[in-house]
């Protein structure tokens, strides 16, 4: 499992956060060469997701996800990739995520 199943809230008001909202969350995970990754995302409101490869380049970007499995997303090598989730300032979403590699 790359990212264990978890529930979280994105977009909560926070006076200490830049722009006063915690509207972006990032998750790093380690991958092996030649595998495919899959990411399950379920959200109460539309949420945007970006998968960043080991080279720092966007591998997939999807807008307004409510219930979707992203993938297969191929890995080019062994290293660290990242999932970035975000909502617009003022929006709020309860989110469930999970990621795995095959």
Per-residue pLDDT of the chain (102 residues; tens, 9 = 90+): 999 999 999 999 999 998 899 999 999 999 999 999 999 999 998 999 999 999 999 999 999 999 999 999 999 899 999 999 999 988 999 999 999 999
- The pLDDT score that the predictor gives to residue 48 is 98
- Predicted TM-score of the model (pTM): 0.94
Q: Nearest Cα to 14, choosing from 88, 75, 90, 66? A: 90
- The pLDDT score that the predictor gives to residue 79 is 97
Please report, for the chain, the start and end positions of each structural domain, with discontinuous segments joined by +: 3-101
User: What are the percentages of helix, strand and coil residues in the chain, rounded to 5?
Assistant: 5, 70, 25
Q: Nearest Cα to 51, choosing from 35, 70, 34? A: 70
- The pLDDT score that the predictor gives to residue 68 is 97
- Torsion, CA 78, CA 38, CA 66, CA 59, rounded to 10: 40
- The pLDDT score that the predictor gives to residue 78 is 96
| 3 state SS of 1 | coil
Rounded Cα–Cα distance for residues 92 and 94 (Å): 7
CATH of domain 3-101: 2.60.120.380
């Amino acid at each position: 499992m790359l990212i264990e199943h978890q529930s979280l809230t994105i977009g909560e008001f926070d006076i200490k956060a830049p722009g006063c909202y915690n509207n972006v969350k990032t998750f790093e995970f380690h991958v092996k060469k030649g595998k495919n990754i899959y990411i399950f995302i379920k959200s109460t409101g539309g949420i945007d997701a970006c998968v960043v490869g080991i080279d720092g380049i966007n591998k997939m970007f999807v807008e307004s996800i409510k219930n979707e499995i992203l993938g297969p997303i191929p890995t080019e090598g062994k290293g660290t990739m990242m999932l970035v989730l975000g909502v617009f300032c003022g929006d709020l979403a309860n989110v469930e995520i999970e990621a795995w590699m095959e």
